[in-house]
Amino acid sequence: MKVLIVGGVAGGASAAARLRRLDEHAEIIMFEKGEHISYATCGLPYYIGDVIKDRDNLFVQTPEAMKARFNIDVRTESEVISVNPQEKNITVKSKARGIYSESYDYLILAPGAKPFRPNIPGINNDKIYTVRNLHDADAVKSLACSEAVRSVVIIGGGFIGIEMAENLRKRGIEVSVVEMFPHILSQFDEDIAVLIERELEKNGVNLVLNTMVNSVEENGEKIEITLSNGEKLTADFVILATGIVPDTDFLRGSGIELGPRGHIIVNERMQTNIKEIYAVGDAVEVADFVNGRKTAKPLAGPANKQGRIAADNIAGINSVYRGTQGTSITKVFNLTAACTGNNEKDLKLADIPYEVIYVHPMSHASYYPGASQMTLKLLFNDDGKVLGAQAVGYEGVDKRIDVIAAVIRLNGTVNDLAELELSYAPPYSSAKDPVNIAGYVAQNRLTGLSHLITWSELEQLNKNDYILVDVRTEAEYSKGHIEGAVNIPVDELRERLDELDKSKTIVVYCRVGYRGYIADRILSQNGFKVLNITGGYSSEPSG
């Protein structure tokens, strides 16, 4: 059996290694148009920021290592320029061998993606850089190390743009990020994204949101960016981080089915419409695990899994890919932001009804030094099935999102979150872990023990129909409160019920939601119609 693999990095390299482990006698040839077959793409911003000091640490595998351990013929600087399914061969343009064809029994496509360049005048200027491969990273790091370079404009507020903003800012470079949408990091909903934006601004990053770039042009030694709001930014160089597109132009006309944006269409076995050809990684269109819609999520974890699954099926093992959750995490200075499953935008687009709750638990036991507060947002349906989660904080965010991601993968519910037995010791968590707390709050919402409302939902109500009550202490209230709110501390509420009008809805809030829940239970059992603002004052957009 002869298997050709087009592309390395995550998907292609994992497919090659898995296939060799399953079949010692298969002939496996890997083609990579660049110099390197497998390197840590996600580590590039940290290499540029000098967090990763040794460039060699970015290499996951080398051609020599792949040959020695897996007996794989790796051909770098060999670009596959066409696939010919009827002849079962590919055409290769190689630096060493020129143009030639190579036959196959099976073909695995892992061509990855390339930076998207928007149609902006001047976008091909030499002072505009992308960060997609090691060559890009070397060029940007060289600039960042130069004493003559003191400013950069980053176009695009996705993960790469934000990680580059942090790493360049830490090198003392003035950083501006221009994002065309109202908020950065589209994986997060607005109410979570604003917390990340505050961290960036606190660390000196200039955010220009809801603004497009109209043109880019050189102005002496500088580069000038004209914005859609009429303003101009000047910098020593520009990083283009406007997203990626599948690198599949070489497949057009081959008969391999492509999606509307050029992604390769595959089934759950990672097989294309041509049975001998499989595809994996950033270039493929897959199913969203939560809503079932077609999607493309360029993430290293899914790419590795897909490579393994393609190899399994070629080797005769029935293996399927059940969809992508989009579980992601990023470091933003001292803050960590992570998400899994669908956000509110995804669910609305898929027309899926959902409920939302917010909690603001401590990262570990509050009496143990160093505890910090996190924000955790949970999305679920009326049956309690968990649909997604987002979290932001300074400690412990990663493990909470990972736990919820596992529950989603197992089609779990908020009851499962509440029942999970998670490790506890004061330095690491609390007896009620933040995941448990989110489950409890969601359970109370679904069983009617809690009557929750979000701040955005409150804005839709007629102010004449409700009384807003701040149930925090007088001291907390005096430091800041919502305009129009009356202050009745929860511990005084039972004695002051006669101050409230039963003909109106009583909307309560506290700092994070717990005292609001206590107030809800007191008021509702005393004949009041009550709404408790989930997440409390800490979830209020300007709070």
CA separation for the pair 381, 408 (Å, rounded):
12
Extract the tokens encoding 279. Answer: 């595809």
Going from the C-alpha of 223 to that of each of 128, 176, 231, 234, 492, the distances in angstroms are: 9, 13, 14, 6, 62
Which listed residue (42, 145, 339, 510) is catalytic? 42
The DSSP secondary-structure symbol of 56 reads G
Please provide residue 72's backbone torsions phi and psi, each rounded to the nearest 5 degrees. Answer: -110, 135
Strands 222-227 and 213-219: what pairing? antiparallel
8 Å CB contact between 433 and 424: yes
Which long-range contacts link 433-440 to residues 24+ away (Cβ below 8 Å)?
A: 433/400, 434/359, 434/361, 434/362, 434/363, 434/374, 434/376, 434/396, 434/400, 435/400, 435/403, 435/404, 437/359, 437/361, 438/357, 438/359, 438/376, 438/378, 438/389, 438/404, 438/414, 439/414, 439/415
CA separation for the pair 268, 310 (Å, rounded):
10
Going from the C-alpha of 319 to that of each of 43, 154, 208, the distances in angstroms are: 30, 41, 46
The verdict on whether 145 is a catalytic residue reads: no
Please report the sign of the dihedral spanned by the C-alpha atoms of residue 254, residue 255, residue 258, residue 260: positive
Extract the tokens encoding 264. Answer: 């390769």
Question: Active-site residue numbers?
Answer: 42
